[in-house]
Chain A
């Protein structure tokens, strides 16, 4: 019964929420107001043990981050923490909390410059923000950590405060550790990302590795999937940054990436995995992972850096597999400029011209090096030769080794003989070498109807079926989520199947809400993607 009673209340809250959202649409709320409402949402999430609200807050993080400044944070901290916090700390069950709460505001404010005096800020507040009832109680620790996260992100925006950010990061991590609250996990995952950035910008990323490893262990013991996913990715990033592919591979094989991880984390994980596999010459796996990363990546316009980085690697891996990437990839507005060098390489490989390949390689060497794809591209040399030989074998039925040597710019006839021999053995071409006469005879082409055709079909069909099953799974999840968010709709019409037939109007509003949610998710996804973009 309690269940039923709860729903109308929740229902009302929802309506208010949507109303608020509608009201706010014409002009977005000020950052301070947004932070405040987010704090309220976090309180609600903790009180109701409902992580949904928490995720909502975190989704807005990316957009909010860009609008932060010293004053906004200062005001937000002042408004969220009650005025009398120092003088009359509310008595809590736990002494520990008492200490944390009363000191929280002071410690938070200490990270912000005191440029704006309190009086000033109050004036502007009253103008900007609708008068809200003064908070009477200390906020929950989650709110404090959320504010710390905001401050941390803000400190990371300018070079002068990197040192401070690093200190704050260390302190925050200790705090999270000491509090050890499960309701904190989603925020903690975000905090870890910020911690990693702090280490990366402010010091040596490798210094943070023991810290991350320890935290990863703890997170996996506590089944804290979100933090675990975030930490695995950060460790991989740190390893790959120092080209420690061996360690990265060991980490991947020793850990299990949590299935319930969020999409952005999965995207990153696939990308890192793609890199590792490409270096290990396991191109098929690398290609699969990169394709997954591309599919899961946020829209190219919002996170161009990541999109470009994945495509660069993907183009090289496709070439190494012996495929030629699609032309349309290079015409994409986001990719066109970034992939210029790669396009030239693709052309050289397609033409099978070694000299063109070498010239392109030396011309774009700096770019490839910056992208960390140089060594991969150097490996393409043999593919260029193979393509060249293949073209020759298709167009001639008999060709002298001397001519092969000239056409492919090889150094000597002797080399040409070995190279052709190897190509025949590897099954690149069908043919024979007649040593006495010094020529190569090309055999007839294989007929196109053999068991390998069915194998090819089986592979493709398998892929399609998998795709279908995956999408069924996803759509099931979306429906489940839909039912959950839109249960007020179900409530009116008892059974969901009836609802579908009867309540077109009702579902219309629900659908709108759904759209809004989808948009939010999409926006939230980019959160730290764009921060990553620049460094690839």
Chain B
């Protein structure tokens, strides 16, 4: 769980969480409009710099976390490489038809997947959920009943994991043997999910009643334990992006890696 491992605080941690989230959504939309792999690769390097040097987590952990990136690259690119539309054929075996266009489109998708993964991990590693929800309430006017429900729910997850462990032991000690096949899988799934879900719903309901009694659901003016605002780190973050993104465009125009500038079919 990301809650209890140690790390150094960096400037990425001090950015306003709402701003960080909004910027990430804007970057997502922006990335969907980029069809030039050269720009995308430079973009990716700019984001990888954030991941590698500024999250404040030790190298070893960063390495372990980045293993799935490779998976992301493969899963997002392979089917496009093998089955994408294209005219300049490179190889063909049965259904598989690799063309130059589909290959580069596949690469493009792979890099795109990696950028999203990197940004997501950067966000997850440098943002405390509690601060995110306080900030959403204060800056984006999220209703307190939603924010506090979310924070309470996050606190319940470790309890649920503990409960799952208990359930596992309970089934074991009673000698419940799993059957094989789809039916066995279904039964196993049911024997875990039903008790977990029902217990969690009961617990959530009890907590909600208590929270309502404590007037957590009242909208309007209220005081907050944490006050979040904006700081110079927000400016640094925005400046970083405002330098890196135009730079990605300029270098891609002057020093392209590939000659293809639009990976969509027929463009």
A binds B: no
B interface with A by C-beta (< 8 Å): none
